Amino acid sequence: MKDSSSHSPLSFSQWFLGLSLLILWAGVPASDSFTIYEESVTVHLLQTFGLYMVVIGINSRHPAVQNTIVLNSVLFMILTRVSQTSTVCREEKAQTCFPTFNALPNSSVASPFAVLGLIVLIPVVLITVRRALSSTDSLHGTGYFIVTYSLPAGLFVSFVYWLLDTLHGYQQFVGGWEFMQTIKIWWAKVLFLACSVSALYVWGCEPSCLGVAELTITAQTPTKTGTAAAENNNRDGSILVDKATQKEYVILGLQNPLGSAYLVFVSIVYMILAMFQKPMGGVMLGIQIIQIVGLVEIYTLLRDEWEPNLGLESSFVTMQAKLFQSAHTSSPSESANPEKSSNKFREEGKKPTPFSLLFLFTVVLLIQGQRFFFATGHQYTLASIQWDVAFIGLFNTSFVWGPVIMLFNTFGAPLLSLLAIPLLPLWKQRRDVVALAGSGNGSGNKSRDHVILRDIGAVFLIVGLCLGVWGFAATAFVGHFRRHLMVWSVFAPKFLGVDMGVIVLEGFLILFVGAAVARVWMLK
């Protein structure tokens, strides 16, 4: 399907910015200085995107869209700056950098303020996810259960563990309190596994966030007034009516069945990844998911504003309102024929999202993953690896669980951003109402499904392309600088970290992200 906006000025600026961000991000290994200061480079790249979004929002034709885009863009830039408050310093930056990830520069113990930040951030994250689901009336079913029970429980369990770990780091478990060390290990061994497996099991069995509301409709019908009783009761000449009531059921959340289910999965994975981050890393991961929700909202507004056949209806008018209006205005024959009534809401197809918009936001999410890779206390150096995390919930070294935990800890932020990318084509998208109801007529649904699948395939290809460019650049430059004075201190660790990251992210994309998207798509 041809992109009718491929030659518009807005599309050109999106292509230019997206390609520029990708080239600058992938080209960091071209210089030892850029590699050393890469965490600052990622901040400036994301701030550039934020300023671009502010300009786009100001130029929007719709005041509601303008306010939302500008507000979310400013919040995005503020949170990006906040992520700079967490850092570990490379050896090359020792004289100009002050580490803030741990309590002291030469200590691996978390700051008490970071532990306090964990408990403060729990309600903020929960409110953000609940608000995103409630905006499309999707806080029902599995979504309600996960956000109300599983997610708070998992985050609180994580907070208690890291509180115990911090107390142990400050030598509080001595003398008669040594048993607390054993309790800490069993706390993680049992409750981390229970919270993670139970949430994934519930979501895997039924990821739908749809709900059902019961409506009582009163229908008034005129009666004959020829009888004496009627004449006595109707002396003013008015027409008597009989009031008949009937019940109808409305499906809630049809505006966003795919995106809401997938957002719940993202929140579950966030909970699991946060369990294996140190306190400051857990705080940064919470800030990251708040940023992700804001980015997805900005993308959705730009996508819906571009679609001339839908306008902003899909963003601001819920399917619930349409069904309520239909229930009150439909004739008895339409109420008796659900297929005929639901055909009123079938959209006449959907234009594909501009490829430039998908490309830009996919690149930004990948760069965001790298920004929070640094914010969660990592660098492309062997010295920054958090080896002590490999013993979470373990009494002895495990060559099975240890590497898995280290994987979640080291690449937690890039994995979360990668997992969020399919939210772009899925958020506030739905398959046709008739198809969801099981009708045999799916002609209107075919076009919509085709476009959504096209966008999903596009983001998967874009991710593969960007990761390939990223890995190729790191490999090419380490070969080019093989005789450089700092090859083993700067370029070689960068090459090892990037190529390991490409392997992990590509594998995660194929095995887990693809499976989650397929499970969401199978919703009926």
pLDDT, the chain, mean: 82
How large is the average pLDDT for residues 437-461?
A: 70
For residue 42, the one-letter residue type is T
With a CB cutoff of 8 Å and minimum separation 6, the contacts of 287 are 79, 82, 83, 121, 372, 375
- Long-range (24+ apart) CB contacts under 8 A made by 170-179 are 170/109
Asked if the model's pLDDT at residue 322 lies above 80, the reply is: no
pLDDT bin (cut points 50, 70, 90) of residue 345 is very low
pLDDT bin (cut points 50, 70, 90) of residue 483 is confident
How large is the average pLDDT for residues 504-521?
A: 91
Asked if the model's pLDDT at residue 315 lies above 60, the reply is: no
Residue 327: its pLDDT value, please?
43
Residue 340: its pLDDT value, please?
39
- pLDDT per residue over 253-307, tens digit each? 888 889 999 999 999 999 999 999 999 999 999 999 999 999 999 999 998 876 5
Residue 192: its pLDDT value, please?
93
Lowest mean pLDDT among 153-167, 296-310, 367-381, 480-494: 296-310
Asked if the model's pLDDT at residue 229 lies above 60, the reply is: no
Lowest mean pLDDT among 139-153, 212-226, 452-466: 212-226
Contact 295, 281 (CB under 8 A): no
SS (H, E, C) 209-257: CCEEEEEEEEEEEECCCCCHHHHHHCCCCCCCEEEEEEEEEEEECCCCH
Q: pTM higher than 0.75, yes or no? A: yes
Residue 310: its pLDDT value, please?
39
- pLDDT per residue over 373-419, tens digit each? 999 999 998 888 999 899 998 888 888 899 999 999 999 999 999 99
